[in-house]
Amino acid sequence: MSDQPRAAIAAASRLVVKVGSSALTTAGDGLDVGRLDALVDAIAERVARDTQIVLVSSGAIGAGLAPLSLGKRPRDLATQQAAASVGQLALAHAYAESFGRYSLTVGQVLLTSDDVVRRAHYRNAERTFSRLLALGAVPVVNENDTVATEEIRFGDNDRLASLVAHLIRADALVLLSDVDALYDGDPRAGGTRRIAEVADESDLDGLSVGMSSSGLGTGGMMSKVAAARTAASSGVPVLIAAAADAREALGAAQVGTVFRPAGSRLSARRFWLGYAAGSNGRLHLDDGAVAAVVRRRRSLLAAGVTGVDGDFQAGDVVDLVNPAQQVVARGVVAFDVTELPELIGRSTHDLPPEQRREVVHADDLVPLRHR
Beta strands in 225-279 (DSSP E): 238-242, 257-259
Q: Is 58 annotated as a binding residue?
A: yes
3-state secondary structure of 210: coil
Q: Which residues pair with 219 in a beta bridge?
A: none
The one-letter amino acid at 266: L
Distance CA(234)–CA(260), nearest Å, equals: 11
Q: Is 234 annotated as a binding residue?
A: no
Q: Is 211 annotated as a binding residue?
A: no
Cα 278 to Cα 101, 115, 126, 150, 351, distances in angstroms:
41, 11, 18, 13, 30
Q: Is 72 annotated as a binding residue?
A: no
Q: Is 62 annotated as a binding residue?
A: no
Q: Is 18 annotated as a binding residue?
A: yes
Q: Is 177 annotated as a binding residue?
A: yes
Q: What does the DSSP 8-state code read for residue 292?
A: I
Distance CA(337)–CA(333), nearest Å, equals: 9
Q: Is 158 annotated as a binding residue?
A: no
Residues in Cβ contact with 360 at an 8 Å cutoff, skipping those fewer than 6 apart = 283, 293, 299, 300, 318, 320, 331, 332, 333, 334
Q: Is 157 annotated as a binding residue?
A: yes
Q: Is 220 annotated as a binding residue?
A: yes
Q: Is 221 annotated as a binding residue?
A: yes
Q: Is 223 annotated as a binding residue?
A: yes
Count other C-beta atoms under 10 Å from residue 15's C-beta: 23
Q: Is 331 annotated as a binding residue?
A: no
Dihedral sign (CA 239, 243, 248, 250): positive
Binding residues for ATP: 18, 177-178, 218-224
Binding residues: 18, 58, 145, 157, 177-178, 218-224
Binding residues for substrate: 58, 145, 157
